[in-house]
Amino acid sequence: MGQNLLEIATHNKDSLVIGVDPFLNGIASLIENCVNNKINNVLVYPKPIQEFLEQFKNIYFEKVFILFPDPWPKKKHQKRRVFKDKFIQILLERIKKNGEIYFATDNQDYYEQALHDLEIVKKTSHISIQKVDSNELVLTKYFQRAKKLGNNVNFLVIVKL
């Protein structure tokens, strides 16, 4: 876990980068990486992002990365998806003006649902939605996996205007 986060933290020493994920093995390997590479601008929160947003209401983000968030591709697990209209709305309230949300998935159904939900959000929030070439994306573990499987990766940037 954390390839994208480590890349950002390394190249933006004056920024605070927060990793939020309940997957403890991933959090542990991220911390190990930070220690080994003397990266000291990272905080971690080992719980779901919904809990983070609820707990720290005074934090406003410049960028939020939600990359390959779907570890449960089966249809019966769709209700567990995080990137849905209500969540996007809550996230937007916590993003600075001109701030960005990056969303990537290799699950075509998740991508289509995300686009649908973003259109719902767009009715009440001032946002732009752009498709980005996935070559712009840091090669995370699941991005590598998607490439190996030959899966198409959809990458979006949502800007709060």
Ligand X SMILES: C[S@@+](CC[C@H](N)C(=O)[O-])C[C@H]1O[C@@H](n2cnc3c(N)ncnc32)[C@H](O)[C@@H]1O
Active site residues: 70
Q: Does 73 bind ligand X (CB under 6 A)?
A: no
Q: How far is CA 56 from CA 16, 34, 53, 66, 117, in A?
A: 14, 23, 6, 18, 25
Q: Does residue 49 touch ligand X according to CB under 6 A?
A: yes
User: What are 49's two structure tokens?
Assistant: 């992002």
Decide: is 67 part of the binding site for ligand X (CB under 6 A). yes
Q: How far apart are alpha carbons 117 and 99 in whole angstroms?
A: 19
**Least CB distance to ligand X at residue 161 (A):** 26
Indicate whether 141 belongs to the interface with ligand X (CB under 6 A): yes
Q: Shortest gap between Cβ of 66 and ligand X (angstroms)?
A: 8
- Only one of the segments 10-18, 28-36, 42-50, 89-97 lies at the binding site for ligand X (rule: CB under 6 A); that segment is 42-50
* Choice between 48 and 128, CB closer to ligand X: 48
Is 26 a binding residue for ligand X by CB under 6 A? The answer is: yes
Shortest Å distance, C-beta 126 to ligand X: 25
Q: Which member of 103, 111, 143, 155 binds ligand X (CB under 6 A)?
A: 143
C-beta of residue 31 within 8 angstroms of C-beta of residue 18: no
Please spell the DSSP secondary structure of 32-101, one letter per residue: HHHHHTT--SEEEE-S-HHHHHHH-TT--EEEEEEES--S--SGGGGGG-S-SHHHHHHHHHTEEEEEEE
Positions in the binding site for ligand X (CB under 6 A) = 1, 20-23, 26, 48-50, 67-69, 71, 82, 140-143
